């Protein structure tokens, strides 16, 4: 009989259940009041933007950015952590195929936590960042100025959805989405994957992170979504893309998992 390593207990948690919330509150009492404030704010924003997750999350980003642009990107609590997570993303991608001549599309570029490093690495005009939040893109432009990257002429564009319909066919050799699908319901991910293959150049790749669960798929406050790997692999295959689990990403100090999508290899 095959011996299988049991899954990490953290991957079996259902953070939406009342029991988990009570246990978490008892062990993290200092986070109860901030969580209740966030739940109240999110409840109002969901009511205000009923029927559109993108509009809801755009409002969440506007609220978070007004308080702290760096904390708005992944809830990073300090500038040092903001720098460290950006460096981790850059180092990983630079070690896994990113070349200066690549044409890169970053979905959910935020305030360029990793993007400024990508821009610095790439040839001028080869970085295209999109985000649903105009507020965070204003902060992205400030990041460009802070690091003196105007000469790299990157493109920074707000978007209404993830249909990518204004972008050219087969253009981007690298597509990157960090901590985007971890905040997206499945229909938004489906919309993105339905169109990502069109803009992805032959031989290119699309890396994205997600919050992984080995138990029931669930969400918390409509902000944080947890998916089984096979769900996202099947969704990619539905849209003609092959998926590969980036196992070595799991060894880094980051709580999410990563998949790499490609066009299927041509057959002889």
Least confident of 51-55, 91-95, 108-112: 51-55
Q: pLDDT value at position 44?
A: 87
Q: What is the pLDDT of residues 190-228, one digit of tens each?
A: 999 999 999 999 999 999 999 999 989 998 888 899 999
DSSP designation for 123: P
Domain assignment present for residue 3? The answer is no
- Residue 194's domain spans which residues? 9-262
Domain assignment present for residue 92? The answer is yes
Domain assignment present for residue 179? The answer is yes
Identify the residue whose tokens are 């972008």: 167
Domain assignment present for residue 2? The answer is no
Q: How far, in Å, are 14, 47, 69, 79, 167 from residue 138 at the CA level?
A: 36, 26, 10, 18, 21
Across the chain, which distance is largest between two alpha carbons, in Å? 61
Residue 73 has pLDDT above 80, yes or no: no
Contact 28, 162 (CB under 8 A): no
| Residues 47, 45: Cα–Cα separation, whole Å | 5
Residue 72 has pLDDT above 80, yes or no: no
Contact 63, 221 (CB under 8 A): no
CATH code assigned at 220: 3.40.50.150
- DSSP-derived 3-state class of residue 178: coil
Residue 74 has pLDDT above 70, yes or no: no
Q: How many residues does the chain have?
A: 268
**Angle between helices 53-67 and 186-199 in degrees, nearest 10:** 90
pLDDT grade, residue 119 (50/70/90)? very high
Q: pLDDT value at position 5?
A: 56
Least confident of 82-91, 136-145, 175-184, 218-227: 218-227
Q: 223 or 7: which carries more pLDDT confidence?
A: 223
Q: What is the pLDDT of residues 221-253, one digit of tens each?
A: 888 999 999 999 999 999 999 999 999 999 998
Q: 37 or 180: which carries more pLDDT confidence?
A: 180
Domain assignment present for residue 268? The answer is no
Domain assignment present for residue 4? The answer is no
Which stretches of 76-228 are DSSP H helices? 79-94, 115-121, 134-146, 186-199
Q: pLDDT value at position 89?
A: 97
| Residues 135, 238: Cα–Cα separation, whole Å | 34
DSSP designation for 166: T
Give me the chain's average pLDDT, please.
Answer: 90
Residue 123 has pLDDT above 80, yes or no: yes
| Residues 192, 233: Cα–Cα separation, whole Å | 14
- Structural domain tally of the chain? 1
Q: What is the pLDDT of residues 160-180, one digit of tens each?
A: 999 999 999 999 999 999 999
List, in order, residues 6 or more apart from 197 with CB less than 8 Å away. 239, 240, 241, 263
| Residues 189, 140: Cα–Cα separation, whole Å | 24
Q: pLDDT value at position 77?
A: 65
Residue 3 has pLDDT above 60, yes or no: no
Domain assignment present for residue 156? The answer is yes
Domain assignment present for residue 230? The answer is yes
């Amino acid at each position: 009989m095959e011996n299988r390593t049991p899954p990490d207990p953290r991957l079996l948690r259902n953070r939406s259940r009342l029991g988990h919330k009570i246990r978490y509150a008892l062990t993290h009492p200092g986070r109860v009041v901030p969580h209740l404030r966030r739940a109240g704010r999110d409840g109002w924003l969901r009511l205000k933007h009923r029927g559109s997750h993108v509009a809801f999350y755009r409002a969440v980003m506007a609220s978070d950015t007004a308080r702290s642009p760096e904390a708005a990107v992944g809830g990073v609590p300090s500038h040092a952590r903001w720098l460290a997570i950006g460096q981790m993303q850059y180092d990983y991608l630079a070690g896994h195929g990113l070349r200066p001549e690549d044409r890169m599309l970053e979905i959910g570029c935020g305030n360029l936590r990793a993007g400024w490093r990508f821009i610095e690495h790439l040839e001028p005009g080869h970085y295209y960042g999109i985000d649903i939040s105009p507020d965070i893109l204003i902060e992205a432009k400030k990041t460009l100025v802070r690091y003196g990257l105007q000469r790299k002429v990157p493109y920074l564009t707000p978007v209404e959805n993830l249909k990518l319909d204004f972008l050219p066919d087969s253009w981007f050799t690298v597509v990157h989405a960090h901590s985007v699908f971890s905040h997206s319901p499945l229909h938004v991910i489906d919309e993105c994957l339905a169109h990502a293959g069109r803009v992805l150049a032959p031989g290119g790749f699309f890396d994205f992170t997600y919050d992984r669960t080995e138990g029931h798929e669930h969400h918390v406050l409509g902000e944080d979504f947890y998916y089984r790997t096979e769900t996202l692999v099947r969704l990619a295959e539905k849209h003609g893309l092959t998926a590969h689990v980036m196992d070595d990403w799991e060894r880094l100090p980051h709580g999410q998992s990563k998949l790499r999508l490609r066009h299927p290899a041509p057959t002889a």
